[in-house]
Structure 1
Amino acid sequence: MPSAATSHLERRLSAYDAAAVVVSNVIGSGILFMPAIVAGMAGHPGAMLAVWLAGGILAFAGAMAYAELAALRPRSGGEYVYLREAFGPLAAFLTGWASFVAGFSGAIAATSMGLVGLLDRFFPGVGNSTPWVSLPLGVISLSLSPQQLLAIVIIVSLSVVHGLGLGPGRVVQNALALVKVMALVVFVAAGLSFGQGTTAHFIASPTATWTVSGLLLALIPVMFSYSGWNAAAYIAEEVKDPGRNVPRALAMGTIAVVVLFVAMNVVYLYALDVQAMAAVEVRVVDAAAQVLFGPGAATMLVVVGIFIALGTISANVFAGPRVYYAMARDGLFLRAAAQVNPRTQTPLAAIVAQAVWCVVLVLTGTFAQLVNYTGFTVVLFAGIAVLALFVLRRREPDAPRPFKALGYPVAPALFVVASAAMVVNAIWREPLPSLAGVAILATGVPVYWLFQRAR
């Protein structure tokens, strides 16, 4: 055990540990809500399933591109590292800035608040959003309600678990990922085995139509549902034999999620036809479960939702600090975040910094807007990171590559094109929120120069 803080993380994670982070990052509220939106845009049962499969293929193409990049640069930070190597420190900092301000922290805060809402079903009152105290601070205000307090407790508790070391963090993360997968597998198996659905819903009605533009629009919520497929890349520095195990983790995690998501949509269609699914105003999983199993299934689904939310928060608490740790090593984040705690062998200061910012977002209630405004940046920076694969292939043709992206150059090129199309579409369809997201991203530029001056 070292006696002083170091700047290097230990390689203790297996491919299965890293794959669990992928699974927990991806399986979230998207598969519970988004199928209704996709059904409305696709308008045809076959087209709906096809777009979920196409999104999965794109996610796998992106995962394989990240696999090559992670094997080439097996360091913590994911796309922060790849953008730094291919496009320079400013581009890298902006992806890290977006991750800290909203990408990971906003998702943690939002999911924690949603989790409290689910817990209120069993512990009435904990989801009460009426503030005990409120402190106006100009354009924002600080407030504390029972819901916010419990959300903060959840954030701090999981941050402590992952701050204690890879041992406790890995056990909790793997257990939550396993519960998520098993819950969805049981739902699929039970729904198709004895659920009160019908295969007639898979046959399109004579009036059902689909268009290419509709499918392209439907691909956007599908890809947002798949976001998180790159999670293993953030922790590459802690994976044993990364040239072999990071690609395996990205492949296993992504394939598992694609199979589960397509299967879930098959069950949804078994319970509801496309038109009924598009008209659902609650979670699709709730509406489908009521048809398949009756109203008594609602309580079971709340429990499933609790574990899904816990796993998502845990995965983000685990992965996010590795980005800030990588930034800090380059002098582009708080200096303490570059150190590895000698007792826990974790980037403890980075974990604490993220937890503090998450608490601020909960107290101010600004997380929802941040996530909404910066959602397109997740797709933007993933596309740019895959584009870095082409840059590094050209710039370093003879560099040892333990793994090479499958389907290169066609598969990663398709991913880049699809990402660009989704970003342009998001800006075109929602110009004001997108402009706010660009403004939030732009605030990172002066912060970058301040860190540069401090170096």
Structure 2
Amino acid sequence: MALDSASPITRSTLFRRKPVRRAADGAVEGPGLTRTIGTFQLTMFGVGATIGTGIFFVLASAVPEAGPAVIVSFVLAGVAAGLAAICYAEMASSVPVSGSTYSYAYATLGEIVAMGVAACLLLEYGVSTAAVAVGWSSYLQEAIANLTGWRLPDAILYAPLSAVPDAPTGVINLPAVVLVGLCMLLLIRGASESARVNAIMVVIKLTVLAMFAVIAFTAFRADHFANFAPMGVGGVATAAGTIFFSFIGLDAVSTAGDEVKDPQRTMPRALIGALFVVIGFYLLVAVSAIGAQPWQQFEGQEAGLSRILEIITGTPVWATILAVGAVISIFSVTLVTMYGQTRILFAMGRDGMLPPLFARVSSRTQTPVQNTVIVAVVVALLAAFVPLDYLIDVVSIGTLTAFIIVSLGVIILRVREPDLPRGFKVPGYPVTPVLSILACGYILASLHWYTWVIFAGWVIVFLAFYLLYGRRHSALGRGIVAPTEGGH
């Protein structure tokens, strides 16, 4: 029976849920996307979104906090991120549609919760994409300067405002806008083309990191690990918190549900595969870097891995190659995070939570063109003109909240739908999802209070939009999709 979209606000309308079993069968209402992405390309999506600027520069922050025991910190951060990734793997195999945590929350916790999660995800993907594009601009400048000795003028390299005192300012961050535009063109051309380009860039960035490890191991000294944990257990834990955010990005795999071949098997494999690749390369880089340089020298080493190579080899050549690798690395991150945001908006448009424009698919390219253009314009404006420094911790809240919702969703679906077909099951249930919730909650508790205020304000605005628009245009509310029995 159709639900009245203009009915009074009640618990039953706010918490109505999408039918899980139709999603598990791959059935969707409204526009659909073409399934062209295989396991390898999807794994590269996860790796591409995760291995970005973090590993190139995080050691300068993390090593002074933990000493050589930063290796243990990498393992702890990987375990925390891995717990969430494993929960994502089960949810992706149970609800194999586009939309990531938004779609999972819609199927398990209800419509208004899904909109709250969507606010988290859009903030995470939007701000982080813009911030990464700004970072790409800096690394591009470094690579150009190393190769040619020429520097871009400040007017086209920096935004007119800065959140950091005495930081350089300009008129527009033009390289960041160019990067967003290139990613937009790729995404409009097609998902399979974007996946192919991303896979190539990921292979290049992994090759560059492997090159760093090989060169660093030529200067390896075991005595650099002698005073293994100078800051004690507390230092190891602090460094793990710093490093954790270098693992954010694995959830990008779950945004591709509508475009993956055999999603119930492919998505879990890609998530777990990406997790192991990321942890393996992070540990390889950390061990080789500390073996090549005393841990006391990492503090304040702004050039990160590039500087280590320059010290070892006595020439800037290899450092320049690494800088070029960083430029490629960040391009890959921007491409995948923009892709993820467009697919979340696509799922919301298809559900009626946003105007139909966001779910419109081009008959020629089989991509949501208007949606992609809107995302590109907003991200480019943020990257070009807005200081984003204060919003990075807000991104962390959005990401960790999404991780918690996914872990909670695993428990709810196991209880509510024990016989639901699952291509992957979380090992160690229910301990694993509970540990994931606790680990993410612990990191959330360490964030500044003003970050929570900004985040709460954004979510309230988004929920107000839902009450004014989404609730009345919901496909569930209009009877286009039948709600889950007992879903209120």
**TM-score (norm: length of structure 2):** 0.83
Q: Is the 8 A contact 1:233 1:246 kept in 2?
A: yes
In the alignment, does 2:211 pair up with 1:186? yes
Q: Is the 8 A contact 2:133 2:180 kept in 1?
A: yes
Distance change >3 Å, CA 371–CA 134, structure 1 → 2: closer
Q: Is the 8 A contact 1:77 1:322 kept in 2?
A: yes
Q: Is the 8 A contact 2:37 2:259 kept in 1?
A: yes
Which residue identity is paired with 2:46? Answer: V
Deviation at 1:420? Answer: 0.5
Quick one: which of 41, 53, 58 aligns to 1:34?
A: 58
Partners of 2:349 and 2:333 in 1: how far apart?
A: 25
Q: Is the 8 A contact 1:116 1:127 kept in 2?
A: no
Distance change >3 Å, CA 131–CA 63, structure 1 → 2: closer
Query: Matched residue of 1:64: which SS?
Result: helix
Deviation at 1:134? Answer: 7.3
Which residue identity is paired with 1:63? Answer: A
Matching of residues 337-416 of structure 1 within 5 Å:
337-416=358-437
Partners of 1:307 and 1:82 in 2: how far apart?
A: 32
Distance change >3 Å, CA 40–CA 441, structure 1 → 2: farther
Partners of 1:253 and 1:132 in 2: how far apart?
A: 34
Matching residue of 2:451: 433
Distance change >3 Å, CA 421–CA 14, structure 1 → 2: same
Matching residue of 1:22: 46
Matching residue of 1:162: 187
Deviation at 1:116? Answer: 1.9
Q: Is the 8 A contact 1:112 1:309 kept in 2?
A: yes
Which residue identity is paired with 2:98? Answer: S
TM superposition outliers: structure 1 runs of 4+ over 6 Å: 130-135
Matching residue of 1:140: none
Q: Is the 8 A contact 1:120 1:127 kept in 2?
A: no
Matching of residues 27-426 of structure 1 within 5 Å:
27-43=51-67, 45=68, 47-100=69-122, 102-121=123-142, 122=144, 124-126=150-152, 128-129=154-155, 145=171, 148-192=173-217, 194=218, 196-204=219-227, 208-211=230-233, 213-277=234-298, 279-296=299-316, 297-426=318-447
In the alignment, does 2:465 pair up with 1:443? no
Partners of 1:347 and 1:144 in 2: how far apart?
A: 34
Q: Is the 8 A contact 1:373 1:437 kept in 2?
A: yes
Q: Unmatched 5+ residue regions in structure 2? A: 1-29, 162-168, 474-488
Root-mean-square deviation (CA), in Å? 2.3
Distance change >3 Å, CA 341–CA 424, structure 1 → 2: same
Distance change >3 Å, CA 388–CA 132, structure 1 → 2: closer
Partners of 2:321 and 2:425 in 1: how far apart?
A: 43
Deviation at 1:113? Answer: 1.9
Determine what percentage of the aligned residue pairs are the same residue. Answer: 25
- Alignment coverage as a number of residue pairs: 431
Deviation at 1:61? Answer: 2.4
Which residue identity is paired with 1:220? Answer: G
Deviation at 1:453? Answer: 5.1
Please list the CA deviations of residues 82-117 of structure 1 after superposition, one character each: whole Å capped at 9, or x if unmatched: 1112222222222222332x3122222222222222
Deviation at 1:274? Answer: 2.6
Partners of 1:59 and 1:132 in 2: how far apart?
A: 33
Deviation at 1:21? Answer: 0.4
Partners of 2:329 and 2:158 in 1: how far apart?
A: 29
Partners of 2:138 and 2:53 in 1: how far apart?
A: 13
Q: Is the 8 A contact 2:66 2:230 kept in 1?
A: no
Deviation at 1:286? Answer: 2.8
Query: Matched residue of 1:398: which SS?
Result: coil
Distance change >3 Å, CA 419–CA 314, structure 1 → 2: same
Which residue identity is paired with 2:460? Answer: A
Query: Matched residue of 1:434: which SS?
Result: helix
Distance change >3 Å, CA 312–CA 134, structure 1 → 2: closer
Partners of 2:372 and 2:315 in 1: how far apart?
A: 41
Q: Is the 8 A contact 1:338 1:347 kept in 2?
A: yes
Q: Is the 8 A contact 2:42 2:195 kept in 1?
A: no
Distance change >3 Å, CA 96–CA 109, structure 1 → 2: same
Deviation at 1:75? Answer: 0.2
Deviation at 1:259? Answer: 0.1
Distance change >3 Å, CA 231–CA 265, structure 1 → 2: same
Please list the CA deviations of residues 317-347 of structure 1 after superposition, one character each: whole Å capped at 9, or x if unmatched: 2222111111111111232111221111112
Distance change >3 Å, CA 92–CA 52, structure 1 → 2: same
Which residue identity is paired with 2:364? Answer: R
Q: Is the 8 A contact 2:128 2:395 kept in 1?
A: no
Q: Is the 8 A contact 2:101 2:402 kept in 1?
A: yes
Partners of 2:301 and 2:208 in 1: how far apart?
A: 23
Please list the CA deviations of residues 181-216 of structure 1 after superposition, one character each: whole Å capped at 9, or x if unmatched: 111112112221x2x3422111217x92412x3333
Partners of 2:156 and 2:327 in 1: how far apart?
A: 22
Deviation at 1:313? Answer: 0.9
Q: Is the 8 A contact 2:241 2:443 kept in 1?
A: yes
Partners of 2:345 and 2:182 in 1: how far apart?
A: 20
Please list the CA deviations of residues 386-408 of structure 1 after superposition, one character each: whole Å capped at 9, or x if unmatched: 11110111111121212211232
Partners of 2:276 and 2:406 in 1: how far apart?
A: 20
**TM-score (norm: length of structure 1):** 0.89
After superposing the two structures, state which structure 1 stretch, 236-245 or 402-411, moved more: 402-411
